Structure 1
Amino acid sequence: MSEDEKTPAREVITEYAQAHFRYFRTTEGTVYAQRIGHPVARPIRSQGTTGSHRQELMVDLFNDGVGVFNGTSMKEALDLIEALALSQDVQPTHIRVAPGFDGATWLDLGRDDGQSVRIHPTGWTIAVPDPREVCWRRTQLTGELPMPARDTEGKGIDRLLRLTNFATAETESLALAWLVGCLEPSVPVPAPFLTGPQGAGKSTAGRMLLRIIEGMTGDLRRAPKDEESLITAVAAGWITALDNLSHLAPDLSDLMCCVVTGAESIKRALFSDGDVYRSRYRRPLLLTGIDVGVIRPDLAERLLTLRLERPKVRRTEAELWAEFGEALPVILGSLLDLTVTVRAAQAETPTDLRMADFAHLCAQFDTATGFGTLPSYRSSLDDLNDDVIEGDLLAQTVLKHAATLEPDTPARRASSEWLHLLTGLYSGEECRPLPKGWPTTGKVLSDRLKRLQPTLAARAVLIDWGRTREGRYIEMTRRPPRPDHEQDTLH
C-alpha cells in the first residue's frame, strides 16, 4: 500500500475513540470521556500523571492491536474529538454523591468496576449506574469504600458511637443526621465543628465520620491560607475536613459560608487572554478544634457544634483503626438503612431556621427514630449565638440598650445618632477607650448591624432599615418574652 493510501493516524485514533468512548461536555465547557457502559468519566485535557484519558486511550489502542502512535497524532485526534464534543448534550459530573432518576441518589464506592449504591426511600441496592444518569468524576483523593453489609439491624451505628467520644446522646443524633445529609446532594448541610477538651479524640472522631463516606484514605487537612487553596481542596473530594482550627480569619469565614451553601468561582483560563474557567461548588465541611475564637454571625448559622469528652479508657491507634476498618462495612450498611428510613419519613419543614433543608432533615430524623434531633439543633444554634455575642462588644452594647426599650415600641434614629448613643453607652461615665474594630461612622455601624441582625433577632431584638423625607433611619424593636407554652410549641 502506498503512503497516499494509508489512513492518517489521527483518523484511526478518532474512529477507535468514538467507537469505545462517549464524549460530552459540562456546563463549565470541560469535555469528558466516558468508556461505553462505564459510569466513570475523565477530562480529556487532564494533565495528571496517572489515570488521564490520554493514557487510557493509548493503552487501549496498544492492547487491541491497533498500534502505538506518536504524541502529535494523539494531540490532533484529541483536538478533533474535543471540538466534536462541544456540540453534544451537556451533562454534569459528580464526585462521590450524585442525584439520580426517580428521586434516587447514588453513592460512588470508588471501585474499578463502577458498582455504586442507589439510595431510594424504598430501599438501597448495589448496581452500575446508567452512564447517562450518573457520571462519576474521580481524583487521587477518591478512596474505595467496602461493599456495605446487609441486614445490620443498626449494629453499625452502635459500633460507630462506641468508637467515638460524643458527650451526649443529643450530639450523637446530630452527628448521624449530618451523615445522612451528606448522602443527599441537594441538601446543604451545616459544617460540624467537633470541639472539646484536649485529648477528647476530636481528630480521630473527625476522621471516622469522614472515612465512612470517603474511604480509609480520607484524612483531615490543615486550614488553607487563601481562597484558591480552599477551592482546590473542595473540588478534589466530596467532604472537606479541616483539623485543629484555632482561628478563623474573616476571609476564611466568608469562604466557608460559600462552601456550605454554594457559590461559583471564576478565574482566567490558563494560556488565554479573555477566556475564563468557572468552578461551582457546594460541599459538606467538617471542622475540629478546641476553640476558634470569635465566630462571625453568618458562619454561626452554618455551623453544627458537636462536643466530645475525654475517654475513660485509652486505646492504641492500631487497635482503634483496626476495629474501625473491620466495622466499616457494617457501619456503612447501617447508615444506608438509616438514610432510607429517614427519607421515607414525613415531617413539616421548620420555617424559622436559616438551614431549612437540614432542619427538615432533622425533623424527618426525629419522626423516623424518635430522637430529639431538631431541638438539639436549635440548642446548638443558641449556643453559637451566645458565642457570637460574647465575642462582639457591639452586640453586647446593643442588647444592653435594647433592654431599656419598651416592648414592641420601635426606636428610630439615623445611623450617626445610633453610633453616638451606643458609643456613649459603651464608654460610660469613666470614658473607657473604644475597642479595636469599633464602628467609626454611621455607615460602618449600619453594615455591622446587618451582619448581627439574625443573632440579635434570636435574642428578641429586631433591627430594620427605612427612609423618610428627612433621610434614612435604623429602627430597633424589643419583642416581649414569649410565654413558656408558646416557646414549647415553636421548639
Structure 2
Amino acid sequence: MAEDDKNPAREVITDYAQSHFRYFRTADGTVYAQKNGHPVARPIRSQGTSGSHRQELMVGLFDDGHGVFNGTALKEALDLIEALAMKQDVQHVYIRVAPGFDGATWLDLGRHDGQSIRIHPTGWDIVTPDPAEVCWRRTQLTGELPLPAKDTDGKGIDLLLRLCNFATAATESLAIAWLIGCLGPSVPVPAPFLTGPQGAGKSTGGRMLVRIIEGMSGDLRRAPKDEENLTAAVAAGWVTALDNLSYLSPDLSDAMCCIVTGAETVKRALYTDGDVVRARYRRPLLMTGIDVGVIRPDLAERLLPLRLERPTVRRTEAELWAEYEEILPVVLGSLLDLTVKVRAAEADIPTDLRMADFAHLCAQLDAATGFGSLEAYRTSLDDLNDDVIEGDLLAQTVLQHAAALAPGSEERMTSTEWLQCLTHLYSGDDCRSLPKGWPTTGKVLSDRLKRLQPTLAARGVLIDSGRTKEGRYLEMTIPPNAPPHEQEPLI
C-alpha cells in the first residue's frame, strides 16, 4: 500500500468510534459514548475503575483487528469526537431509576446485557430500553439486581417483612411506601430513620431495604466527614444509606435536607481557572441509629421514623442472608406488582403536609391495600414534632407562654421585647442561668422562631413577622379552634 493511501491512526480510531458508538452531550456539557443498541452510556473523559470509554474503545479496536494504538492517537481522536458531539442534541443520563415514554418509568437492573424493568400503567416488563428513551449511567455503586419473579401474588412482601423486625404494622406500611417511592424518578421521599434498642437489627433491616433497590452489593456507610465527600457519594448512586448515626451536626442536617428535596453543587473544575463542574442530585436517603440527639425542625419534616424491636429468636448472618438472596427475586417482583397497583389507585392529595408527594403515595397505597399508611405518616410527624420540642428549650418556653393565652388572641411585640419576655419566663424569679445556645439578641431570636414555625404551628401556635412605621415586630397568634395547651412548667 502506498504511503499516501494510509490513514493516520487518529482517523482510523475516529471512523471506528463513530460507526460503533453514539456520542451525545448532557445539559452540563459532559460528552457520553453509548455503544450502538446498548442503553449504558459512559463519559468519554472518565478514567474510573467502573470502566471508561477509552478502555472499551481500545478493546473494540483490538478485537476487530485494527491493532493497538498509542495514547497520542487515542487522545487526538477523542478530542475530535468530543468537539463533534457538542453539536448533538442534549440528552439526560440516569442512575438506577429513569422516566420513560407514555408515563412509564424504568429500573436499571445493572446487568451487562442492559436488560431493565419498564414499569408502565398496566404492568411491568423485562426489556432492553431503546437508547433514545433511556441512557443509563453506571458507577462503582451500581450493583446488579436479579431478574424479578412474575406472578408472585404479593407473597414477596410478606417474606420481606418476616425477615425485618418492624415494631408495628403501621411501621411496615411506611417501609413499603418508601420502597415504592424509591422507584419513582421524580417523587421526593422522606428519609427513613431506623431506630430501636441495641440488638434490634437496625443495620440488617437497613441493608435489606437498600438491597431491594441496589442489589446484594448495596450496603450502609458511615457518614462522610465533609459535605463534598457526601455529595460525591450521593451523586454516584441512587439510595444513600448512612449507618449508626449518633449525632447530626447542623451542616450534616442541612446536607440531608438537600439530598431529600434536591440541590445542586458547583465547584471549580480541575486544572482550570474559570470553568466549573455542576452536580445535581435528589436521592432517597436512609439512616440507622439508636438516638441522634436534637433534631432540627426542617430535617424533622423530611424524616420517616421506622422503629424496630429486638427479635426473640436469633439467626446467623450466613443463614439470614442466604435466605434473603433466595427470596430477593420474589420480593422485587411483588414490589413491582404493588407499585403498578398503587400508581393506578385514585386518592386525594393531602394539602397539609410538606412532603405532599409522599403523602399522596401513602393515600394511594391505602386505597390499593387498606394499610393505613397515611395516618401512620401523620402520627410519625407528630412524634417528630415532640422530639424537636423536647430538644429545644426555646420552643418549650414559647409553648409555656402560649398556654396562658386564650384561643383567638394575638400578641405583638418587637423581637427584643419578646426576648426579654421569654428570658424572664425561663429564668423565673430565681434568675437561673440561661442554657447554652439561648438567643442573645432579638435578631437571633427572630431567626430561631422562623425555623421553629412549622413545629409550633403543629401545636396551634402561629408565629408571624411584619413591619409598621414603628419598626419590625413578631406576632404570636392562637387560632380560635386551637386545642388548649397543657405545657408543663419548665424545670
Range of TM-score over shorter length: over 0.9
Counterpart in 1 of 2:71?
A: 71
Change (3 A) 1:481 1:196: farther
> Are 2:99 and 1:95 aligned?
no
Counterpart in 1 of 2:218?
A: 218
The separation in 2 between residues aligned to 1:410 and 1:86, in whole angstroms, is: 61
Counterpart in 2 of 1:388?
A: 388
Counterpart in 2 of 1:55?
A: 55
TM-score (norm 2): 0.97
The separation in 1 between residues aligned to 2:49 and 2:403, in whole angstroms, is: 64
Aligned to 2:412, the other structure's residue is in SS state strand
Counterpart in 2 of 1:186?
A: 186
Aligned to 2:48, the other structure's residue is in SS state coil
The separation in 1 between residues aligned to 2:419 and 2:483, in whole angstroms, is: 33
Give yes or no for contact 1:390–1:396 (8 Å, CA) kept in 2: yes
The separation in 2 between residues aligned to 1:154 and 1:482, in whole angstroms, is: 43
> Are 2:362 and 1:362 aligned?
yes
The separation in 1 between residues aligned to 2:115 and 2:5, in whole angstroms, is: 44
Give yes or no for contact 1:405–1:477 (8 Å, CA) kept in 2: no
Q: Which runs of 5+ in 2 are unaligned?
A: 485-491
Q: Which runs of 5+ in 1 are unaligned?
A: 485-491
Q: Compute the displacement of 1:483 (Å).
A: 8.1
The separation in 2 between residues aligned to 1:429 and 1:120, in whole angstroms, is: 67
Alpha-carbon displacement from aligned partner over 1:109-137 (angstroms, at most 9, x marks no partner): 01111000001221001111110111100
The correspondence of residues 36-185 of structure 1 with structure 2, limited to 5 A, is 36-185=36-185
Counterpart in 2 of 1:467?
A: 467
Aligned to 2:324, the other structure's residue is in SS state helix
Higher mean C-alpha deviation, range 399-408 or range 93-102: 399-408
Aligned to 1:199, the other structure's residue is in SS state coil
The separation in 2 between residues aligned to 1:423 and 1:133, in whole angstroms, is: 61
The separation in 2 between residues aligned to 1:293 and 1:242, in whole angstroms, is: 16
The separation in 1 between residues aligned to 2:143 and 2:300, in whole angstroms, is: 31
Aligned to 2:180, the other structure's residue is in SS state helix
The 4+ residue runs of structure 1 with deviation greater than 6 A are none
TM-score (norm 1): 0.97
> Are 2:281 and 1:281 aligned?
yes
Aligned to 1:118, the other structure's residue is in SS state strand
The separation in 1 between residues aligned to 2:420 and 2:89, in whole angstroms, is: 60
* Matched AA of 1:134: V
Alpha-carbon displacement from aligned partner over 1:204-255 (angstroms, at most 9, x marks no partner): 0000000001000000000111110110110121000000000000000000
Change (3 A) 1:90 1:363: same
Change (3 A) 1:50 1:70: farther
The separation in 2 between residues aligned to 1:139 and 1:382, in whole angstroms, is: 39
Give yes or no for contact 1:460–1:480 (8 Å, CA) kept in 2: no
Counterpart in 2 of 1:341?
A: 341
Q: Compute the displacement of 1:87 (Å).
A: 1.4
The separation in 2 between residues aligned to 1:163 and 1:312, in whole angstroms, is: 12
Alpha-carbon displacement from aligned partner over 1:49-68 (angstroms, at most 9, x marks no partner): 45110000000001111221
Give yes or no for contact 2:188–2:284 (8 Å, CA) kept in 1: yes
Aligned to 1:23, the other structure's residue is in SS state strand
Q: Compute the displacement of 1:399 (Å).
A: 0.5
Counterpart in 2 of 1:298?
A: 298
Give yes or no for contact 2:245–2:287 (8 Å, CA) kept in 1: yes
Q: Compute the displacement of 1:358 (Å).
A: 0.3
Alignment size in residue pairs: 484
Give yes or no for contact 1:259–1:284 (8 Å, CA) kept in 2: yes
The separation in 1 between residues aligned to 2:134 and 2:370, in whole angstroms, is: 34
Q: Compute the displacement of 1:482 (Å).
A: 5.5
Counterpart in 2 of 1:410?
A: 410
Give yes or no for contact 2:49–2:140 (8 Å, CA) kept in 1: no
> Are 2:428 and 1:422 aligned?
no
* Matched AA of 1:43: P
The separation in 1 between residues aligned to 2:121 and 2:288, in whole angstroms, is: 32
Aligned to 1:350, the other structure's residue is in SS state coil
Q: Compute the displacement of 1:481 (Å).
A: 4.5
The separation in 1 between residues aligned to 2:197 and 2:251, in whole angstroms, is: 27
Q: Sequence identity, in percent? A: 81
* Matched AA of 2:96: R
The separation in 2 between residues aligned to 1:474 and 1:71, in whole angstroms, is: 67
